[in-house]
Structure formats: structure tokens, C-alpha cells
């Protein structure tokens, strides 16, 4: 429950938002959904993962992800 209240505060939503959510969701039309899909440019997402590349890369490739490795050094203080 606290997570839902935190969400309301973070996004500036009214206290009754979650009660009205199913109604709001069902009001979305197929045309509105298609317009959103076009704006999102699906298929060009980037996922950033940090960790041990030697461990993670084989697992990600096995799952079908294209893996690009980029190493950046932290800037000097």
C-alpha cells in the first residue's frame, strides 16, 4: 500500500487514481495505442547492464540479445 501512495505523490496523481485506473485503461482506443507505438519507436531500445562482462555476456547472448561492450573510466575527481 505504501508503494501505491508513494507513486501517487511522485506523479502528482489524485488519491482516487488507482480506483479509476481500470476505467481509464479501458478507455484507450486501438487508434491511440497504435499512435503511441509509432511514437515509441519500438525496436530501438537500449538496455544498460553493469557487471562482470565475462559472466554476463554469454548469458545475454544465449537469451538472444546482441551484446556490445563499452568500458568507460570514471572521471578524475
Asked if the structure places residue 70 within a domain, the reply is no
For residue 48, which of 27, 68, 29 has the smallest C-alpha distance?
68
**What is the span of the domain harbouring residue 41?**
2-62
**pLDDT tens by residue, 13-26:** 888 888 898 999 99
pTM above 0.85, yes or no: no
Of the pLDDT bands very low, low, confident and very high (cuts 50, 70, 90), residue 8 is confident
Residue 72 within any structural domain of the chain: no
The alpha-carbon radius of gyration of the chain (Å, integer) is 20
Q: How many structural domains compose the chain?
A: 1
Report yes or no on 20 lying in a domain: yes
Q: Percent of the chain at pLDDT above 70? A: 100
| pLDDT at position 62 | 95
What are the pLDDT digits (tens) for 30-53?
999 999 988 888 777 888 888 898
C-alpha torsion 54→58→63→65, nearest 10: 70
- The CA distance from 5 to 1, in Å, is 6
* 6 lies in some domain: yes
- Which of 34, 76, 77, 69 has its CA nearest to residue 51? 69
In a domain, 75, yes or no: no
Amino acid at each position: 500500500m505504501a508503494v501505491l501512495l508513494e507513486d501517487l505523490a511522485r506523479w502528482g496523481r489524485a488519491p482516487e487514481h488507482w480506483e479509476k485506473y481500470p476505467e481509464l485503461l479501458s478507455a484507450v482506443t486501438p487508434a491511440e495505442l497504435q499512435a503511441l507505438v509509432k511514437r515509441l519507436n519500438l525496436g530501438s531500445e537500449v538496455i544498460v547492464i553493469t557487471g562482470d562482462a565475462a559472466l554476463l555476456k554469454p548469458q545475454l547472448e544465449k537469451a538472444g540479445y546482441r551484446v556490445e561492450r563499452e568500458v568507460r573510466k570514471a572521471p578524475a575527481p
